[in-house]
């Protein structure tokens, strides 16, 4: 292989690495199979406010992924369903303070994008138009699914 070819190969490798989704952890960010569930620590930031909490995703029957975003105190912020076959999001419930038509519109679109990104193991996304950042991290401790501390 000549020097020029080696240089090209190195550039292509670097380009591939920089464009690849981050593999920060081996844990999945999206419930790929029916019956899977995933729990992600979530941070949504806008210039005016930030919302943190836990996003719980469950892959049910018929290709439907159900999601609930709750805050750390357990209060519900958002419930939605993502149809993996049609790639459509349906918002079922939103906290009253955020339940405005323009927020629903943006959130619905962003959730559709996010479901695809999470499935590709991308844990960050920014809606440049409205300056909304989304960050996700898998919750590491799954041993506390029972109030008595027993493993599920």
Partner 1 sequence: MKKLFLLLALAVASHFPAVAQQGAAELARKEINQTASRIKSLQCDFVQTKHLKMLSDKFVSRGRMYYQQGNKLRWEYTAPYTYTFVLDGTKVVLRNAQRRDVIDVNRNKMFREIVRIMMNSVVGKCLSDDKSFKTSIAVSSTEYVATMLPLRKDLSQMFQKIVLRFNRKQAVVSQVELYEKNGDKTIIELKNVKTNVPLPASVFSVR
The residues of the shown chain that bind partner 1, judged by CB under 8 A, are 37, 39, 41, 43, 50, 52, 54, 56, 58, 66, 68, 70, 72-76, 79, 92-93, 95-96, 135, 137, 139-147
Q: Is the distance from CB of 118 to CB of 89 less than 8 angstroms? A: no
Shortest distance, position 11 Cβ to partner 1, whole Å: 34
Conformational region of residue 113, where left means phi above 0, alpha means psi within -120 to 50, and beta covers everything else: alpha
Shortest distance, position 62 Cβ to partner 1, whole Å: 15
| Residue with Cβ nearer partner 1 (80 or 114) | 80
List b or e across 107-144, with b for residues whose CB sees 16 or more CB atoms inside 10 angstroms: beebbeebbebbbebbbebebeeeebebebebeeeeee
| Residue with Cβ nearer partner 1 (7 or 63) | 63
Shortest distance, position 3 Cβ to partner 1, whole Å: 45
| Residue with Cβ nearer partner 1 (51 or 119) | 51
């Amino acid at each position: 292989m000549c020097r020029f070819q080696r240089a090209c190969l190195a550039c292509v490798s670097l380009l591939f690495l920089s464009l690849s989704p981050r593999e920060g952890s081996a844990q999945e960010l999206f419930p790929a199979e029916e019956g899977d569930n995933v729990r992600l620590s979530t941070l949504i930031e806008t210039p005016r406010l930030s919302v943190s909490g836990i996003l719980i995703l469950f892959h049910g029957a018929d290709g439907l992924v159900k999601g609930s975003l709750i805050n750390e105190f357990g209060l519900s912020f958002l419930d939605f369903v993502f149809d993996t076959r049609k790639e459509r999001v349906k918002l079922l419930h939103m906290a009253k303070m955020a339940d405005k038509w323009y927020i629903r519109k943006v959130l619905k679109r962003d959730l559709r994008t996010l479901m695809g990104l999470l499935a590709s193991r991308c844990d960050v996304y920014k809606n440049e138009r409205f300056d909304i950042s989304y960050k996700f991290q898998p919750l590491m401790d799954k041993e506390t699914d029972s109030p008595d501390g027993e493993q599920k």
